[in-house]
Structure 1
Amino acid sequence: MRFRLSYVGVTLLLVACTVTITLIGRKSIWLAISDPPSSRLETRSIHINAGCSCDDSETARKNERTSRDMKADIIRLINTVLKDSLERNSSSDKSQSPTKLDIVGKGSNDSSIDLVEAMRTFKGTWRENKVLSRQMKHELAECCDVESSVMTKRNVRVGDVLPNVLNPKLPLKITRDIYSVLPKESPFMNKHYQRCAVVGNSGILQRSRCGASIDSADAVFRCNLPPLGKQIYRKDAGIKLTLTTAPLSMLKSYAQMKDKSVKERFLKDMEPYQGILSLKKPNNYTNYMIQALEGAMKGRLCAVYEHPHHFLSVNNYWNNHGIPRKITSGIYMISMALTLCDDIHVYGFWPFPTDDKGNKVLYHYYKAPIFIKDTHDMPLEFLLIKQMHQDGIIKVHMHCAQTIGQSKQHPIGKKQVRPRL
């Protein structure tokens, strides 16, 4: 409606100016008719006394030139007004575009994000910054040693009371049953990888063709037990796995692990996975899961308990770098990769309902129940991931046309500023 009103105003202005131009074109004739002869003679005598030798024909030509100049000025004015009107309406249209979305989250400093600009960031040439990368990895290693990320018989004892990340009001007490299933040492002891892929579960992975790029990494970190066994997801998400989080909300269907049929179903569902399942919190049925995997998978897949002190240390690190709320498992996996890997490549992170073209983006690239709680600030985390990409610390992939190893460029010089995290 605002757009139409603007054009009505411009149209009325054009009509008024057209009338004005017509009147200006007739100015000489109108003046000649309206002025009395004595006035014309007085005017002529003034020109002569001033030293002007112009006769009536020259005056007419001068009036004609003045008329043309005034017409040109009015036309330029009309064009300027019309251009400004079009630009205002264009700007108004863009502000309503679905490619610019409000950021939801109490911790967000920005009220909105331009999805076109965000996607353009990931399409440009990426250059690794080894100076900043080493600095961040050193900071994370100092506060959050990766070997302490898992509860082991070396870092906890029977009777220890640990914080409960899921519910701070209910501290976690280490019982003999819990202690009995802990590994002697961390599975990450003396581990290091050259290239790592961290894979989120956003629907942006659909039709990304990133499966081969992901599987070419030396280690792959995933979140929340994604469905690796289904062929339809392999081209986009790959099948390789080194570590994945396994939230209790996805394991409750196996709570009756003492039942033989439930145990068999659990082991069958776990067949596509390998490496390590990271469990958030121990309880009775997760203890049975660890024992069942140890007996059936023969080391190909094991389950461990995440150490709450490590998670809280990582969470505190990011609280001091721009994320005021509890971090997601995605940021936690990126942090793990930063302390275990030389090169970190990130896939499947896009917390918005549309892409840069306004197309719908599913919450997950696969069908899954959506558990939304007001505990995370995923858009703000995405802006931090975007910043790390721009600063050459991690490489974010939205679509894949080449392998992960081919995308690495030469490092940036040492004069690069510290990332704004």
Structure 2
Amino acid sequence: MRGLLLKLLFSLMLCFFILGTILTVFIWYIFNHSDVKPHSSSNLARRTTDAGSSGMCRDCRENTIDKMVELYSHAWKKQNGNFNKFRSQLASRCHGLSKAIVTQANTPLKSKIVYDGEKRNPLQVTPKLFSTFVKEQPFENVTWKTCAVVGNGGILINSSCGEAIDSAHFVFRCNLPPLDKGYEKDVGNKTNLVTANPSILLEKFEGLMEHRAPLWRVWDFSSPIRPVFLNPEYLRNLARFWRTQGLRVTRLSTGLIMSSLALELCASVHLYGFWPYAQHPHDRQPLINHYYDNRQGKKTVHAMPAEFAHLLHLHRQGVVRVHLGQCPR
């Protein structure tokens, strides 16, 4: 029994090591061609990026928040025509159903995995590495009726959205967030897919070298549990797609990546915890950065206000439902 546990632990360590390699810093290159005109939200996205990064006055920041609230404040209704059109564009360019996850089918033995951070040092697919890949794409021929993509924003505090989140047929979460310690009421605990960036593994689990016990809780969300790895080819396609939509950022956030994948996999997509500002949209009370801590992200890497402007544009078009504030009880 002890030997089996050690073997399982070794396998988990190997899987997380590979995950850390594949999800290491992606440098999104600027592409000089585009055959799709940016949506009208691109100008708003640029304004929100400037307001969030140039140290502008407090009134300017508040006016940006006012603008976001003004654009959000209308009755939401899914617009099937807009949803199907956007979903078709996303699927035709990114192929999430067949390429989002590294599999034995799309990444054969002896092939090379090339990720943007180190193009000169591609990862050789050895038999040992190949054995850790799932055999087939887990998302093909699957469509969930409702999906919740849960960001980690401080706006989730006192939102009472846990029940609504857990009622979704499929729940995406980002960067191994804590779901206990009383957070359940606001964020729920149902999880079908959760991401783990290399920095999270280093900070929370010391690179898997010490204090491994918390990892076992990560793998208790469902059974059977399978570690899967995001495909660098899919991530490059996704970066190109969002550039055609007018989003010019150094690197897409995990939240936007998961939202994009959900739009290919789900008939209805609900977003929680994506508000990028330090004040609540309704009462202007100060918010911490995450619902569980106030650690700040690297603003030079991600452009959360610009991404949110694009998601809000999709909300207004009836493509996704962005939830701000409290959920109905």
What's the TM-score, normalizing by structure 1? 0.59
Q: Does 2:86 match 1:136? A: yes
Query: Which has more helix, going by share of residues?
Result: 1
1:284-331 Cα deviation digits (max 9, x unpaired): xxxxxxxxxxxxxx51x2211111101111111001111112211111
How far apart are the structure 1 equivalents of 2:67 and 2:297? 29
Q: Does 2:289 match 1:363? A: yes
Change (3 A) 1:378 1:205: same
Q: Is the 8 A contact 1:213 1:400 kept in 2?
A: no
Which residue identity lines up with residue 194 of structure 1 in the other structure?
A: K
Q: Does 2:252 match 1:327? A: yes
Q: Does 2:307 match 1:381? A: yes
Quick check: which has more Rg, 1 or 2? 1
3-state SS, counterpart of residue 269 of structure 2 = strand
How far apart are the structure 2 equivalents of 1:320 and 1:360? 34
Q: Does 2:153 match 1:227? A: no
Structure 1, unaligned stretches of length 5 or more? 1-100, 106-110, 275-297, 404-421
1:188 aligned residue: 139
2:36 aligned residue: none
Change (3 A) 1:215 1:265: closer
Query: Which of 143, 150, 165 in structure 2 is aligned with 1:214?
Result: 165
The structural deviation recorded for 1:254 is: 4.2
Matches within 5 A, 1:83-162: 102-104=51-53, 114-145=64-95, 146-162=97-113
Q: Is the 8 A contact 1:222 1:241 kept in 2?
A: yes
1:338 aligned residue: 263
Task: Select the structure with the greater relative contact order (CA < 8 A; seq sep ≥ 6).
Answer: 2
Q: Please report the RMSD computed on the Cα atoms of aligned residues, expressed in angstroms.
A: 2.4
3-state SS, counterpart of residue 197 of structure 1 = strand
1:349-404 Cα deviation digits (max 9, x unpaired): 0111222343211110012754425222111101101111111111111124437x
What's the TM-score, normalizing by structure 2? 0.75
How far apart are the structure 1 equivalents of 2:292 and 2:314? 27
Which residue identity lines up with residue 129 of structure 2 in the other structure?
A: I
2:21 aligned residue: none
3-state SS, counterpart of residue 168 of structure 2 = coil
1:177-236 Cα deviation digits (max 9, x unpaired): 2111111111112211011111111101111111111111111111111112x1411111
2:232 aligned residue: 308
The structural deviation recorded for 1:144 is: 1.7
3-state SS, counterpart of residue 220 of structure 1 = strand
3-state SS, counterpart of residue 133 of structure 2 = coil
How far apart are the structure 1 equivalents of 2:316 and 2:143? 25
Aligned length: 270
2:221 aligned residue: 273
Query: Which has more strand, going by share of residues?
Result: 1
How far apart are the structure 2 equivalents of 1:323 and 1:116? 22
Structure 2, unaligned stretches of length 5 or more? 1-49, 55-59
How far apart are the structure 2 equivalents of 1:244 and 1:315? 21
How far apart are the structure 2 equivalents of 1:265 and 1:236? 22
